[in-house]
Structure 1
Amino acid sequence: MQFSRPILFRVIRVLDWPTYDGWVWLDGYEVGPRMDAIARRSIFVRPAGLRPVVRSRARER
């Protein structure tokens, strides 16, 4: 397990690295509470376990 708590992650790209079936490497940034990038990361995940963020209209302004 890479993280003890969920993180918000902005994906830059899916890496073409060898991996196990059903898993992928993602390259991107961990996003902080103010929606700013706080750390560049490459993470190993199962896409089935990811949840997209739904942005509200109030935050887009």
Structure 2
Amino acid sequence: MRPPLPTAGDLLQVTRAASIQFLRPIRFRVIRVLDWPTYDGWIWLDGYQLDTRGDAVTRRSIFVQPAGLVIQRETAPVQSRRPRSSQRP
């Protein structure tokens, strides 16, 4: 069974478990999962590397194994908004 893919808006902790290139863990906000060709069990992610305050410092595309990603915060599901009915006396 494959691990779930991150979605736009997810906040990830990317460590060496996801790819050997991450000797030091980074925090990463996902923009999208790219549909670039990869090896089985690997994906390309487009997003922003975050600093310790959570501010975006660099836009990056990273090559990782989803099984090694730690989702720190998932994006809340989008709910449709119903227009409010105006109630006037």
TM-score, normalisation: structure 2? 0.58
Percent identity between the aligned chains? 70
**Is 1:27 aligned with 2:42?**
no
Structure 2 residues without counterparts, runs of 5 or longer: 1-19, 74-89
Stretches of 4+ aligned residues off by more than 3 angstroms: none
Number of residue pairs aligned between Structure 1 and Structure 2: 54
CA deviations on 1:16-59 (whole Å, 9 max, x unpaired) are 000000100000000111110011100000000000114xxxxx
- Residue 53 of structure 1 aligns to a residue whose secondary structure is strand
Answer with 1 or 2: which has the greater Rg: 2
- Residue 48 of structure 1 aligns to a residue whose secondary structure is helix
| Equivalent residue runs for 1:8-47 within 5 Å | 8-47=27-66
TM-score, normalisation: structure 1? 0.83
Structure 1 residues without counterparts, runs of 5 or longer: 55-61
Task: Note the C-alpha offset of 1:2.
Answer: 2.0
Aligned Cα root-mean-square deviation (Å): 0.9
Q: Which has the higher helix share?
A: 1
Structure of greater relative contact order (alpha carbons < 8 Å, 6+ residues apart)? 2
